[in-house]
C-alpha cells in the first residue's frame, strides 16, 4: 500500500564508482522505473571507446530497445567527478558520447574531489538538475489542480462535484489541490 505514496515521476537512482556505472545502466535500461540518475565517479555507455592512449573503455550494457531509449531521452543523467578522480577523463568522454546519442547528460565537475562523492551541496546541485523537469511538471499540475479546485467552489462531493474531485486527483497528483480533493472525498488526510 505504501507504493501509492511514491511519486513515480521522481524516482531516481544513484551510486558511486561501480555503483555510478550501475546507476547509469539502470536508468538507461529501465527508464520506466527510474526518471533519471546521478552517477558519481563512474559512468557507463553502450559502446566501446578507445582513448588517446589506446586504452579501451568497454561497453557496459547493450543499447536498450528503441522504445526504452526514446523514453530514456526524456530523462536526465548527471555525473559527478573531479580532476583528481582516475575516472575523470573517462567520465567526460563517455558523458559526451551520451549527449551525442541524444541524452540530456551533464557532468558536474568539482575541483576538490577525487574518486568519491561530492559534498552534500554538490550532490544536491546535480540532483536538483536531474529533478528540474519533474519539478516544472509538478508546478504545472499544481496550478491546474488549483484552478479545477477553485471552479468547484467548495461544493460537496456528490454527482458532478465528485467526478471533478476525482479528476483533480488524476490530473494533479502530489499537489495541495490533489490532497484537498482526496480529503474531501474521504480518501486521505492532508500530509
Res 103: pLDDT? 95
pLDDT at 158 over 70: no
Query: In the predicted model, what is the mean pLDDT of the chain?
Result: 90
Tens-digit pLDDT profile for residues 56-110: 999 999 999 999 999 999 999 999 999 999 999 999 999 999 999 999 999 999 9
Q: What is the mean pLDDT of residues 182-190?
A: 79
Q: How confident is the model at residue 163 (pLDDT cuts 50, 70, 90)?
A: confident
Give the Cα separation of 106 and 76 in Å (integer). 8
Res 156: pLDDT? 63
pLDDT at 189 over 90: no
CA distances (Å), origin 177, targets 91, 143, 188: 42, 9, 12
Closest CA to 114 of 44, 43, 41, 20: 41
Contact call for residues 33 and 11 (beta carbons, < 8 A): yes
Q: What is the mean pLDDT of residues 140-147?
A: 91
How wide is the angle at C-alpha 49 spanned by C-alphas 46 and 52, nearest 5°?
Answer: 165
Q: What is the pTM of this model?
A: 0.82
How wide is the angle at C-alpha 75 spanned by C-alphas 105 and 86, nearest 5°?
Answer: 35
Pairwise pLDDT comparison (113 vs 7), residue with the higher score: 113
Tens-digit pLDDT profile for residues 11-68: 999 999 999 999 999 999 999 999 999 999 999 999 999 988 888 999 999 999 999 9
Res 151: pLDDT? 82
What is the dihedral angle through the alpha carbons of 170, 6, 66, 18, rounded to the nearest 10 degrees?
Answer: 170
Torsion sign across C-alpha atoms 147, 151, 154, 160 = negative
Res 191: pLDDT? 52
Contact call for residues 16 and 117 (beta carbons, < 8 A): yes
CA distances (Å), origin 84, targets 49, 88, 89, 115: 21, 7, 10, 7
Give the Cα separation of 154 and 157 in Å (integer). 9
pLDDT at 2 over 50: no
Amino acid at each position: 500500500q505504501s507504493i501509492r505514496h511514491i511519486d513515480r515521476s521522481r524516482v531516481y537512482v544513484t551510486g558511486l564508482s561501480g555503483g555510478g556505472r550501475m546507476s547509469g545502466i539502470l536508468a538507461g535500461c529501465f527508464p520506466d522505473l527510474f526518471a533519471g540518475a546521478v552517477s558519481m565517479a563512474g559512468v557507463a555507455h553502450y559502446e566501446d571507446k578507445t582513448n588517446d592512449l589506446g586504452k579501451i573503455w568497454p561497453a557496459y550494457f547493450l543499447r536498450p530497445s528503441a522504445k526504452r531509449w526514446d523514453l530514456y531521452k526524456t530523462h536526465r543523467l548527471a555525473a559527478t567527478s573531479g580532476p583528481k578522480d582516475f575516472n575523470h577523463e573517462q567520465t567526460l568522454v563517455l558523458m559526451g558520447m551520451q549527449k551525442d546519442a541524444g541524452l540530456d547528460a551533464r557532468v558536474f565537475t568539482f575541483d576538490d574531489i577525487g574518486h568519491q562523492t561530492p559534498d552534500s551541496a554538490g550532490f544536491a546541485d546535480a540532483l536538483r538538475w536531474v529533478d528540474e523537469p519533474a519539478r516544472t511538471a509538478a508546478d504545472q499540475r499544481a496550478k491546474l489542480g488549483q484552478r479545477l479546485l477553485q471552479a468547484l467552489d467548495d461544493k460537496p462531493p456528490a454527482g458532478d462535484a465528485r467526478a471533478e474531485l476525482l479528476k483533480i486527483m488524476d490530473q494533479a497528483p502530489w499537489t495541495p489541490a490533489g490532497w484537498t480533493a482526496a480529503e474531501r472525498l474521504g480518501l486521505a488526510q492532508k500530509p
